[in-house]
Structure 1
Amino acid sequence: MKITAIHLYAIRLPLHVPFVISYHSYHDIPSVIVKIETDEGIVGYGEGVADEHVTGETWESTFYILKNTIAPLLIGANPMNIEKLHEMMNATIYGAPTAKAAIDIACFDIIGKKLGQPVYQFIGGRYHDEFPITHVLSIAEPEQMAEEAASMVKKGYRSFKIKVGTNVHKDVERIKAVRERVGDDIAIRVDVNQGWKNSATTLVALRSLRPFNIDWVEQPVVADDIDAMAYIKSKTDIPMMIDEGLRGPREMRQIIQKNAADKVNIKLMKCGGIYPAVKLAHQAELAGIECQIGSMVESSVASSAGFHVAFSKKIVTSVELTGPLKFSKDIGNLHYDIPYIRLTEKPGLGVDVNEDILDELTVFQDVVR
């Protein structure tokens, strides 16, 4: 099998409501959709959602790296040779994991369709039957966040991720308000998105959070300060998760060596796709570090790719791939059984892409043959 064409679509996915985290407010989500055609007539879809605050990539840079650097390299290549494709991409350009993830995901979609099997079946087989879905609360006023959480509990949600990362005292008020509203039986995770910056500020916050029975605190300090994460972890009994601080195997090795986290958040956009994500999960398993598969708020395409990794790995104990639930219009049909996600046995990613909606949401596009 050979790749004959790579279509690129720069789209913007509309949100029901703005998504607010410590470093940015999103009114829509810019994404690059990749459609790979083969000489056997099999078509695969991939997606790259860049975050300049995490990997240094942008929507525009991802599109043009794909167009000018990666896509021309892969015309004529066999999409089933995943390791070789990654070697080719890595030898051609350093970094750019979001662009590489888009290609990787599309190739796995092709492989699954060729074999007539869902992706999870050939990256370990199905381990999990279902995952509970965690509702993510954007940064807002404490009472507003508490009210949203209460409404989601009525819909069946049993866990929340609370976005914080502003003033520590206001953040504590937000967490307290949600806990008091939802009660003690609901799981609460706190995601700081680097907003508390350093270990000193974080330790002040953690002392105030002890009464609220927090599942874990995610990335309180700047991404590159793994030493600070290790220090914080040694000073608290609240579990610590690393997100932005984990991109690839080098950071995972440092996290393990420095005992810097209880949990890690693996995202396909940070590491380069399904294949690198599986490698990171194996590294974490060797060290006994539990994994979450997260996302950059992605459409059904990349979200389903993340779910395939999660469902195939015992060491993955939680997921946060809720992009399709946040969009007022999506290009795919990934289905959620709220408050759970259960994958089908459809081949490839298991997602049908609506080309009419894809065209509607496209801002600019190109094709490489």
Structure 2
Amino acid sequence: MKIKKVDVFAARLPLKEPFIISYLRLDDMPTILTRVETESGLVGWGEAVPDPIVTGETWESTYQIIRNELAPLLIDESPFSIDRIHKKFNETVSEVPSAKAALDIALYDLMGKITGQPVYQLIGGKAHEELQVPKVISIKEPEVMAEDASNYVAAGCRNIKIKVGTNAADDIKRIQAVREAIGKDVQLRVDANQGWSRIEALKVIHETADCNVDWYEQPVKAHDLKSMKEIRSVSHASIMIDEGVHNIHDLVDVIEMRAADMLNIKLMKSGGIYPALALANLAEAADMPCQIGSMVESAIGTMAGAHLAIAKSIIKTNEMVGPQMFLKDVASVTFDGDILQFSNQPGLGIEVDEDFVKEITCFSCEIQ
């Protein structure tokens, strides 16, 4: 069964409220959606959510790379030729991981639909019984973040992640306020998104030692593995690396330097499910627990990450939060409290609303 057509949609998803992290504010979410169709009429959907700071791609550049370079490589290929296709991608253009992820995810969706299986069955079956999803709170004043966290916990959420990375003094107040608001039993995770210097990171970690933080994520710049190692050596809690690892070569360096305790894998950083599996396998060999993170993706990217998360035992946590942050999504994702539900339908297990996709699309193209 061969691929005959690829549609690419540059769209913007409406957020419930602005999403603010250390280096960026978003009032809506720019995304690139891909629709890959076989000669028999089966359709697979994929997504790219690029980030100029993290993936080195913009919304516009990702659209052009998929349209002009990557999508044409799929025509007349089998969706199952995933290794060869990624080799063609990498020989055609270096890096651009979210662009590659947009097509990789669509291929897995197609493989599942062709075989009549959910994607997780194609990559190992269920390693976990369920996926518990945290609530992510973007940067606000400490008292506002504390109120948000308290409301989430009252609604049944058992895991809170907060975005920080502005300055040490304010971030200490944010962490302390949220911990006080949620009580001692709710899990708390802290993500600086590269926002601190080494000295600031050490100060924040020391001053919040009594806040029982599960882990501090990417405290310093992505390239600064030496500081990561120094911070890890004195931290009372685990240190997670995120932006510092895109591929297996990065992860080898982290493992050799002992620069982190945990790894945050994102499909948009790694290039899709296929290369993300390689990261998870290497992390498992190093006994490094993993998380599947999110760039605040629609139902498409979210469910791709969810299938990977539930299929690998080394992946202990996830951040499949995107669908909860949009006013309206391109497909329905169901949560039972803080547990993400799988439909067990083939592929990603979602039904994409193509009319809504067209409604939020700013520009599009067709490759065949």
TM-score band (shorter)? over 0.9
What is the identity, as a one-letter code, of the residue corresponding to 1:152? Y
Aligned equivalents of 1:250 and 1:120: distance in 2?
25
Say whether residues 1:293 and 2:315 are aligned partners.
no
Aligned equivalents of 1:273 and 1:226: distance in 2?
24
The aligned counterpart of 1:187 is: 187
Q: Shift of the alpha carbon at 1:209?
A: 1.1
Q: Which runs of 5+ in 1 are unaligned?
A: none
Q: Shift of the alpha carbon at 1:200?
A: 1.9
Other structure's SS at 2:40 match: coil
Aligned length: 368
The aligned counterpart of 1:129 is: 129
The aligned counterpart of 1:46 is: 46
Q: Shift of the alpha carbon at 1:161?
A: 0.5
Other structure's SS at 2:366 match: strand
Aligned equivalents of 2:163 and 2:250: distance in 1?
24
Aligned equivalents of 2:73 and 2:132: distance in 1?
40
Aligned equivalents of 2:162 and 2:88: distance in 1?
39
Q: Shift of the alpha carbon at 1:342?
A: 2.8
Contact 2:139 2:163 in 1 (8 A): yes
Aligned equivalents of 1:242 and 1:346: distance in 2?
33
The aligned counterpart of 1:257 is: 256
TM-score (norm: length of structure 1): 0.99
Contact 2:333 2:341 in 1 (8 A): no
Q: Deviations over 1:33-82 (max 9, x none)?
A: 00001112111000000011101101101000000111112211111111
Structure 1 window deviating more from structure 2 (75-84 vs 309-318): it is: 75-84
What is the identity, as a one-letter code, of the residue corresponding to 2:67? K
Other structure's SS at 1:117 match: coil
Aligned equivalents of 2:225 and 2:331: distance in 1?
37
TM-score (norm: length of structure 2): 0.99
Aligned equivalents of 2:289 and 2:279: distance in 1?
11
Equivalent residues in 2 for 1:94-133, closer than 5 Å? 94-133=94-133
Say whether residues 1:283 and 2:279 are aligned partners.
no
Aligned equivalents of 1:77 and 1:227: distance in 2?
43
Q: Deviations over 1:113-136 (max 9, x none)?
A: 000000000101111111211000
Say whether residues 1:368 and 2:367 are aligned partners.
yes
> Identity of counterpart residues, as a percentage?
47
Equivalent residues in 2 for 1:72-83, closer than 5 Å? 72-83=72-83
The aligned counterpart of 2:164 is: 164
Contact 2:242 2:264 in 1 (8 A): yes
Q: Deviations over 1:78-127 (max 9, x none)?
A: 11111111001001000011010000000000000000000000101111
Aligned equivalents of 2:13 and 2:250: distance in 1?
31
Equivalent residues in 2 for 1:286-365, closer than 5 Å? 286-365=285-364
Aligned equivalents of 1:308 and 1:361: distance in 2?
26
What is the identity, as a one-letter code, of the residue corresponding to 1:354? D
The aligned counterpart of 1:238 is: 237
The aligned counterpart of 1:17 is: 17
Aligned equivalents of 1:43 and 1:183: distance in 2?
46
Aligned equivalents of 1:296 and 1:338: distance in 2?
22
Other structure's SS at 2:336 match: coil
Aligned equivalents of 1:329 and 1:250: distance in 2?
38
Contact 1:263 1:289 in 2 (8 A): yes
The aligned counterpart of 2:220 is: 221
Structure 1 runs of 4+ aligned residues shifted over 2 Å read none
Other structure's SS at 1:34 match: strand
Q: Shift of the alpha carbon at 1:285?
A: 0.3
Q: Shift of the alpha carbon at 1:344?
A: 2.5
Q: Shift of the alpha carbon at 1:237?
A: 2.1
Q: Shift of the alpha carbon at 1:144?
A: 0.5
Other structure's SS at 1:14 match: strand
Q: Which runs of 5+ in 2 are unaligned?
A: none
Aligned equivalents of 1:317 and 1:342: distance in 2?
17
What is the identity, as a one-letter code, of the residue corresponding to 1:67? R
